A and B are shown apart, each in its own frame.
Chain A
Amino acid sequence: MAWEVVIGLETHVQLLTKTKQFSGASTAFGAEPNTQACEVSIALPGVLPVLNKQSVECAIKFGLAIEAEIAPRSVFARKNYFYPDLPKGYQISQYELPVVGKGHLTIQVGNEEKTVRITRAHLEEDAGKSVHGAQEGMSGIDLNRAGTPLLEIVTEPDMRSAAEAVAYAKKLHELVQWIGICDGNMQEGSFRCDVNVSVRPKGSDKLGTRREIKNLNSFKFMQQAIEYETQWQIDTLEDGGKIEQATVLFNPDTGETRAMRSKEEANDYRYFPDPDLLPLEVTEADKTRVKAGMPELPEAMKGRFESNFGLSAYDAATLTASRDVADYFVATVNAGAETKPAANWILGAVSAKLNADEKSIAHSPVSAAQLASLLKRISDNTISNNAAKQVFEAMWAGEGEVDSIIEAKGLKQVSDSGAIEAIIDEVLAANTAMVAEFKSGKEKAFNALVGQCMKASKGKANPAQVNELLKKKLSA
């Protein structure tokens, strides 16, 4: 039988705020255990929550970015369950009325574009952490992370392969960084995905029973986990088994998923509106104000690159796939570079070097301004494209600025026609056989002569001029 996998994602995005969702405790990563666990974070008797303004702005930004309905009134609810890293015995979340409603995100898989529908996004708070091995048979609880602002983004079950799921996750990862609501640091847990996977016979429109893979914090693991889980479900069904709804964990060492033991009992979260918090109101004025402070979104920027700069759809999409790349491109253009060469260089030489050195563009050794001055020296004929590559390598290695490198390496192009003519005369005199071949109709010989001229000029002659003058001399 042919099978189809159906995937939906729930992503927990840690919002870029200085303080927690409901208290003034710091959210800085990496502090000593429980030193950022204030009276609200540890849920002392009598403490109360007050919502962080910044996290609400982040939610509005996200809603605007995915063209979602933003609820004029949303409600915080308590999700009740006992766990040592959950100090109140309930998590404050949004249940029936989330702040962000239906929206969408367009992803690119290969050459195909696909729209993933986003069901909702709601504000909630993170739990603390259990640290194992503190003492035999014991776990240690660190509540520094407890109460950290999260936006949980839920999709419809719209993805049909691990590749699509990863493309969505990557796109979302870029978007939340683009609009400045998340630092995107997956190692520190700022962007975590839960993936719901089910399979069904191809052609069926009924959803199979899903299993949820929890807490994936790398795209590579996500890919592996979904592929393993999909195959496991297909094998189970083909062997006549049944899929039980479950929460599973991915083990990166074995590449396998397994059901969590602690979640075996059915959960009854007893959601109800949190009486300590009032309805959250978002007005049209709030949306307008937040929108004014938002950067141009990738889709809009892509369109502008195509129509204003004449870039191809592919180049425009690649340049706007990440905010840092787009920023670098825009900075290069703003520093005076022509748009097409700038795009070619960034997507070519710069990308290649960054990949080779495993560096991000934000930490590129060649700045946008340096790249722009290099491109200027190409366009004003100071250096050739080939020489430019040498200059780029040297700049990358930290050997200085464009002009000093050209000077030091003697890469300046010779554009003086007298000097070039002298070289051509020398070459023609020394290669009479080739000249004869050319004159007998062998076009190829012309290119060989150009090569000889360039060689004689040590690569410095302006190739266009060599071409032109050589043609003139041979036809004379």
Chain B
Amino acid sequence: MSQVINNSLKQLGQMLASKQISSVELTQEYLRRIDALNPDINAYITLDKDKTLAQAKAADARIAAGKAEVLTGIPIAQKDIFCAQGWRTTCGSHMLENFIAPYDAYVIKQFDAAGAVNLGKTNMDEFAMGSSNETSYFGGVKNPWDRSRVPGGSSGGSAAAVAARLCAAATGTDTGGSIRQPASLCGFTGLKPTYGLVSRYGMIAFASSLDQAGPMAKSAEDCALMLNIMAGFDEKDSTSVNRPKEDYTRDLNKPLQGLRIGLPKEYFADGLEANVGAVVQAAIEEYKKLGAEIVDISLPNTQLSIPVYYVIAPAEASSNLSRYDGVRYGHRAKEYTDLMDMYCKTRAEGFGAEVKRRILIGTYVLSAGYYDAYYLKAQQIRRLIAQDFTEAFKQCDVIMGPAAPSTAFKIGEKADDPVAMYLQDIYTIAVNLAGLPGMSIPAGFSNGLPVGLQIIGNYFDEARMLNVGHAYQQVTDWHTRMPEGI
């Protein structure tokens, strides 16, 4: 069994198809591991073994009937941001502590239709606002590589679950780096697709124009299989892009000869930890060996992406989170004198400190007299940032650099300094602002902690990015390394 947990999705699928193992057995193995490790790591907020095993049983019947698809019977962890009918869906918040979702997110429907098994709902920063998972109402998550450190965020629970092999693969969402930064800090492969590729329906909104769901898995190949399930046009999401369905595994084995890799000088400047930079450089050397060409590029507005993001994301969030008013679902204060008091107490009690801060910032930048100076200005600079990428992609096929400026930091280290925390996302945020796809793959270690290499692609160029990641993973074994003690 210890072998099974490090298997690829493809291998697991073959084992299930050849009846070497049943979905129920595989699921039970993961549930056993969760029982043993989750009390310390805290990767999952909600488990429902009866529901999970019922799905596994159904998957076994489907396999027996010869109707299996690639992911049928494979246990997947779902970030607790996706509404799943009958499952408690908290978004990491006291506000939704007792919210049992009455409908399924598009992503959940897709996994259900594929016959995948929902292993449980993973921990996350409250409403996906954070880079360390420390803002979760349900407690922090420990990084499996060093349990005194954070796993990154906001998809910290999914990240720890993938790293500690507490699931075969997981889903995450990425508004400013919430898939890629934890992938870097926990040493696995995470992909944020092009904005609009994966439907946002049923995915609890943080910043609507930036939020995008994506796979978090051991390898690029696993991510490709996951993305095949997750991507698709959805009539219920106006921003869902209507394009033909793709097979993201189709180009995995293409040679990289002649690939032009752009290295933005701004991604290797001050603020990047030297040892992280060294690991990233070594990975790029590996790509040269694979036949890639290196092109020096510039993304001159990189520094501005943080201020722009911290205007746009809080502005959208302040509005998106207005629906949590204690009227129709979610937390309502126990005592109040009148309607106004009910609103103010409900929201003061239901939201944590970071969420409140962002609501206040967002409310402020949209308020009368400030809109032009903040929100409109940010939307203008957002265009400049996107244009930087357009220019860069005239010279290269993919862009590479670090996914995070440092390795995993200590729990509590930045918890009281929002600005320091926000700087964690310096290399990831611009990609969300431009709506581009980005991924992080394991590229080595620094002092025993994983370091991720970020690959940024042009719009809808996921198949190529996965090819680029997969080629590297054929000649390196960073992605197969597991933390000790799991």
- Which residues of chain A have C-beta atoms less than 8 A from B327's C-beta? 84, 87, 141
Q: Which residue of A is nearest B330, CB measured?
A: A45
User: Digit string of B155-170 for contact with A (CB within 8 Å is 1, else 0)?
Assistant: 0000000000000000
B303-358 interface with A by 8 A CB criterion: 315-316, 318-319, 321-323, 325, 327-329, 339, 343
- Of A245-253, A273-281, A362-370, the stretch lying at the interface with chain B is A273-281
**Interface contact B238-A39, CB-CB below 8 Å:** no
With contact pairs A87-B327, A272-B375, A278-B238 given, residues A46 and B205 touching in the complex (Cβ less than 8 Å): yes
Stretch at the interface among A48-56, A343-351, A407-415: A48-56
Chain A residue with the shortest CB-CB distance to B240: A48
Q: Mark A251-283, 1 if CB is under 8 A from B, else 0.
A: 000000000000000001011100111100000
In this assembly, does B224 line the interface, its C-beta being within 8 Å of a C-beta of chain A? no
Q: Residues of B contacting A88 with CB < 8 Å? A: 322-323
Q: How far, in whole Å, are A42 and B329 apart by their CA atoms in the complex? A: 9
The answer for the CA separation of A45 and B96 in the assembled complex, in Å, is 9
Are A270's CB and B367's CB within 8 A?
A: yes
Residues of A within 8 A of B455 (CB): none
Closest partner residue, chain B, to A267 (CB atom): B368
Flag whether B105 is at the interface (Cβ < 8 A).
yes
Choice from A51, A141, A272, A276 contacting B371 with Cβ under 8 Å: A272
Specify which of B236, B319, B371 is in contact with A89 (CB 8 Å cutoff): B319
B35, chain A: closest CB distance, angstroms: 29
A residues less than 8 Å from B422 (CB atoms): none
Interface size grouping (class) on chain A: 20 to 34
Q: Which of B109-117, B143-151, B196-204, B411-419 contacts A (4 or more CB under 8 A)?
A: B196-204
Q: Please give the number of chain B residues whose Cβ is less than 8 angstroms from any Cβ of chain A in the complex.
A: 43
Asked if A352 is an interface residue, CB under 8 A from chain B, the answer is no
Given A44-B83, A87-B328, A278-B238, CB of A272 within 8 Å of CB of B201:
no
Among A42, A45, A82, A88, find the residue whose CB has the most chain B CB atoms closer than 10 A: A45
- Name the A residues within 8 Å of B316 (CB-CB): 272, 275
B96-119: contact bitstring with A at CB < 8 Å (1 yes, 0 no)? 100101110100000000000000
Which one of A43, A49, A78 contacts B238 once the chains associate, using CB atoms below 8 Å? A49
CA distance A447 to B319 in the complex (A): 85
B325 close to A82 (CB less than 8 A) = yes
- The residue of chain B having its C-beta at the shortest distance from the C-beta of A82 within the complex is B343
Residues of A within 8 A of B83 (CB): 44-46
Q: Tell me, in angstroms, the Cα distance from A270 to B370 when the chains sit together.
A: 10
Q: How far is the CA of A89 from the CA of B103 in the complex (A)?
A: 21
Q: Which of A45, A141, A270, A277 contacts B366 (CB 8 A)?
A: A270
Which listed residue, B89, B323, B368, touches A268 by the CB 8 Å rule? B368
Q: CA of A278 to CA of B240 in the docked complex: distance in angstroms?
A: 10
Cα-based distance from A88 to B323 in the complex (angstroms)? 4
CA of A276 to CA of B316, assembled, Å: 10
Taken together as a complex, chains A and B put the C-alpha atoms of A470 and B239 apart, in Å, by 87
A28 is an interface residue with CB less than 8 A from chain B: no
* Residues of A contacting B99 in the complex (Cβ-Cβ under 8 angstroms): 45
A364-397 vs B: 1/0 string, CB under 8 Å? 0000000000000000000000000000000000
Q: 23 A-B pairs, CB-CB below 8 angstroms?
A: A42-B328, A44-B102, A45-B89, A45-B101, A45-B205, A45-B323, A46-B83, A46-B105, A46-B200, A49-B238, A84-B325, A88-B322, A89-B321, A90-B322, A268-B367, A270-B363, A272-B316, A272-B366, A272-B371, A275-B208, A275-B239, A275-B316, A276-B205
Query: What 7 A-B pairs are tightest by C-beta distance, nearest first?
Result: A89-B322, A275-B209, A270-B366, A275-B208, A46-B202, A45-B204, A43-B323
Task: State the B residues within 8 Å of A (CB).
Answer: 82-83, 89, 91, 96, 99, 101-103, 105, 200-205, 207-209, 235-239, 315-316, 318-319, 321-323, 325, 327-329, 339, 343, 363, 366-368, 371, 375
Given pairs A45-B101, A277-B238, 8 additional interface contacts (CB within 8 A) = A44-B103, A44-B329, A82-B325, A270-B363, A270-B368, A272-B315, A275-B208, A276-B239
